[in-house]
Homo-oligomer: A and B are copies of this chain.
């Protein structure tokens, strides 16, 4: 047993709220705080203050992981590394969110998307353990996906934006125009919490389980999961988020995804064990902040 287990900072930066934590693993969270997302300056200053305070309580942090809403630049060799890219969110376009952490702490800062962070958290302690290729998808206010592929978090050109694929739809059955400001009726535009509220005139949380909203929702989600399965060949798909975590939705999504794939991917987990192919997060709604700690851990030499 090491006595000096390094202590990590983690930030789950969401569009609505920030969650910061200090700890080493799920059962060793020393401190946590959450506050609303306001301006980048104010929000990041609050995060810095929190970690400074915790360093006084628990000693120096080894590194900080920052899993943030996007689009963002996660490429350390890029001139805009650590910045938010153009976003509809007022005040955040081109904001340098890593800069304030770097100035305040002389330790590694690991910056990635919220969904890549959640994927890494699930890989470290949740339903991604032992896998080398899987997807973490969140369906909530928006829809986003992170991916761990052949043993690494996927960035590629910038990072995936899985929520924006186009789905086949029957406008006679569902004439809704969609809620995505960029693509109208893309996957996110058809299935996000915002889309549900716009289409049905009330929040998803008010719709009973036998409301037709959910059959439609399951149909669209399943189609997206089939497309991801063909494109990315994941060993598992983990779905979280306010909508994605609904218990009554999961079995419908599982069955319909299997139907869309139609035995074309000859793997036992899809053919006979779809309940283990499409799953809810092992870390519940803590995937994000624990994922940020897992990102921080990646900065250690042995990682």
Q: List A residues at the B interface (Cβ < 8 Å).
A: 71, 85-86, 132-133, 145, 149-169, 182-183, 223, 226-235, 260, 262-267, 269-270
Could you tell me the distance in whole angstroms from the C-beta of A177 to the nearest C-beta in chain B?
14
Residues in B with CB closer than 8 Å to A230 are 160-165
Residues in B with CB closer than 8 Å to A154 are 133, 149-150, 232-233
Could you tell me the distance in whole angstroms from the C-beta of A235 to the nearest C-beta in chain B?
5
Whether the Cβ atoms of A156 and B234 lie closer than 8 Å is yes
Could you tell me the distance in whole angstroms from the C-beta of A164 to the nearest C-beta in chain B?
5
**CA A62 to CA B86, docked complex, whole Å:** 51
Q: Given A149-B150, A150-B150, A157-B133, A232 and B233 touching (CB < 8 A)?
A: no
Residues in B with CB closer than 8 Å to A160 are 230-233
Set B153, B157, B169, B232: member contacting A168, Cβ < 8 A: B169
**CA A168 to CA B228, docked complex, whole Å:** 15
Set B86, B152, B183: member contacting A266, Cβ < 8 A: B86
Could you tell me the distance in whole angstroms from the C-beta of A104 to the nearest C-beta in chain B?
28
Whether the Cβ atoms of A166 and B167 lie closer than 8 Å is yes
10 of the cross-chain contacts (CB-CB < 8 Å) are A133-B154, A149-B149, A157-B229, A157-B235, A158-B265, A162-B231, A163-B230, A166-B226, A168-B169, A228-B231
Whether the Cβ atoms of B235 and A183 lie closer than 8 Å is no
Whether the Cβ atoms of B158 and A227 lie closer than 8 Å is no
Residues in B with CB closer than 8 Å to A262 are 182-183
**CA A154 to CA B150, docked complex, whole Å:** 7
Could you tell me the distance in whole angstroms from the C-beta of A260 to the nearest C-beta in chain B?
7
Count copies of this chain in the complex: 2
**CA A233 to CA B164, docked complex, whole Å:** 12
Set B133, B227, B265: member contacting A165, Cβ < 8 A: B227
**CA A71 to CA B183, docked complex, whole Å:** 34
| Closest Cβ neighbor of A151 among chain B residues | B152
Whether the Cβ atoms of B233 and A231 lie closer than 8 Å is no
Set B157, B169, B227, B269: member contacting A233, Cβ < 8 A: B157
**CA A120 to CA B107, docked complex, whole Å:** 37
Whether the Cβ atoms of B166 and A223 lie closer than 8 Å is yes
**CA A238 to CA B264, docked complex, whole Å:** 24
Set B150, B229, B234: member contacting A152, Cβ < 8 A: B150
Residues in B with CB closer than 8 Å to A159 are 233
Which 6 residue pairs are nearest across A and B when measured between Cβ atoms?
Answer: A156-B233, A133-B156, A150-B152, A165-B227, A160-B233, A182-B264
Whether the Cβ atoms of A166 and B164 lie closer than 8 Å is no
User: Apart from A164-B230, A183-B262, what are 6 other A-B pairs with CB-CB below 8 Å?
Assistant: A86-B266, A156-B233, A156-B235, A157-B235, A160-B231, A166-B260
**CA A300 to CA B86, docked complex, whole Å:** 44
**CA A150 to CA B183, docked complex, whole Å:** 28
Whether the Cβ atoms of A182 and B263 lie closer than 8 Å is yes
Could you tell me the distance in whole angstroms from the C-beta of A116 to the nearest C-beta in chain B?
11
**CA A192 to CA B277, docked complex, whole Å:** 30
